[in-house]
Structure 1
């Protein structure tokens, strides 16, 4: 060691001793992930936007005396003013009240579909990768079968027949075709985890398979599932919007972002407030969810340089 490099080496050793000493223990994984996530300004902006959209969707209807079904016969297609903040539509309904109701419905459907699809994908993928054999073949055959089916056409045909059951049946129908790709990824990750020493040790100790899956396998793929669930929510909102736009999703008198966009499309140029508020909120929400997903990916990936900033 030369005289020039000695001070730098001593300084580095002192810093390492300070960070690893007993008085400054290393933070846990959750703390590290949170710190890396908070270092991403874009991810924080996306999280703030999503929280604001949820607050607006569930709190906004209480800020106005109009409901999404009220009709003001004295203001047909009226521009935004002090009484109607987002204007009115062609029959005099308050666009602000309808947009907040539509945002609320789309967010609820998106969250329920995203979470349901992630839970089903994690269970199916983990069981297929852990048990292998005929269980793996049967579950993967089901996955391949659902992937072959044209999901949009099936939902378009079945959804009208489920209208008496309410919008929750529509949620289940969307979730039915939203988990297959994730299940395949979880299966591959489970096959790798099943070869690790801690899983084999649990097997040799006689721990029941389902307990091994829930205690050792699923926590090992939790990082991927968190990211996938975040992105799945945005995808579910887009799917619901597309189906509702063509009349196969949420039905009148209820509204969603898709129905509002469909109703406002013919007047997008002449009466833009009937279209652009709902369309703008949809774009903002999807972009914010993608920013959160990118931030979680970088925070949970130890090899990512972006998360270390």
Structure 2
């Protein structure tokens, strides 16, 4: 081959376009986070949606009882002793209570104290549990020993009995006092769980790496440990709301909680116990609302526990 031919062949090879990059490889997919997986699992459960709808209705009744009363009843604010204990009828689907007031309106008004007590007690207990659990689990030492002994003492106190003894000692109490008493008696379980989670995460590799990089204890606890330790406590808190609502209604039923003229499901059950055979609607409707609310929080808590627990996957 002549030199000219070789030069033309080399020029032709150089002019050939480069091979296109390999685009047949599928793009890499990020692994779904635990939160996204949990949400997908939760929204696929009919029981979760039933619980959410029920709690939405209960919240609406607690926030705007007057509006719902005017929409669902006829003369909901009017009471006539001539109508005392009458059963359900047109315009009054729940009948009348002992004072001759529309029972649906009274049951709707009884929603607010129960929801306020359940949410306020749980929020306060959760705050106490997060603070004490972080400090005790991270630092240990005498603080951990002291808090552990105090929680042992409170675990030895029966919930309803302890609240009864305290509330009887202060007969002029209201909803605020009940929230305070139930918080004092209800913070221990979440604190124990938070403490155990912090202890398990304090020696994790990413926490050690952050500590070696100079992160201060406050940053370690808030930025690295708390987000990974809070999920089991949130699940227990959801279950705790139902337990607190049940406890508040029990105290009202026993006569040591809210007092007349306050309106609550527990007080309505207390008033209905003497007439349950002749007028069962007095017991049935507040018990139905109470059971539906408590069951909804329990179902949400159980579903959240199953969705966020990787051991159940």
State the TM bucket, normalised to the shorter chain: 0.7 to 0.9
Verify the 8 A CA contact 1:115 1:233 in the aligned structure 2. no
Match of 1:288 in 2: 296
Structure 2 equivalent of residue 214 of structure 1? 222
- For 1:212 and 1:259, the matched residues in 2 are separated by 47
- Asked if the contact 1:162/1:170 (under 8 Å) is kept, the reply is no
For 1:149, the equivalent position in structure 2 comes to 157
- Counterpart CA distance in 2 for 1:240 and 1:221 is 29
- What CA distance in whole angstroms lies between the structure 2 residues aligned with 1:246 and 1:303? 41
**How many residue pairs get matched?**
285
Structure-1 separation of matches of 2:131 and 2:76: 41
* Corresponding position of 1:34: 39
- C-alpha separation in 2, matches of 1:120 and 1:67: 41
Q: Normalising to structure 1: TM-score of the pair?
A: 0.84
1:199-210 alignment, distance < 5 Å: 199-210=207-218
Q: Is 1:245 matched with 2:253?
A: yes
Q: Which runs of 5+ in 2 are unaligned?
A: 1-24
Of 162-171 and 83-92, more deviation after overlay is shown by 162-171
C-alpha distance in 2, partners of 1:67/1:174?
32
Q: Which has the larger radius of gyration?
A: 2
Greater relative CO, 1 or 2 (CA 8 Å, sep 6+): 1
1:284-305 per-residue CA deviation (whole Å, 9 max, x = no partner) reads: 1222222111211122123324
> Is the CA contact 2:238–2:301 (under 8 Å) kept in the aligned structure 1?
yes
State the partner residue of 2:107: 99
CA RMSD in angstroms comes to: 2.2
Q: TM-score, normalised by structure 2?
A: 0.83
Cα distance between partner residues in 1 of 2:239 and 2:222: 23
Q: Which residue of 1 aligns with 2:272?
A: 264
Aligned to 2:6: none
Residue 73 of structure 1 and its aligned partner are, at CA, apart by 2.9
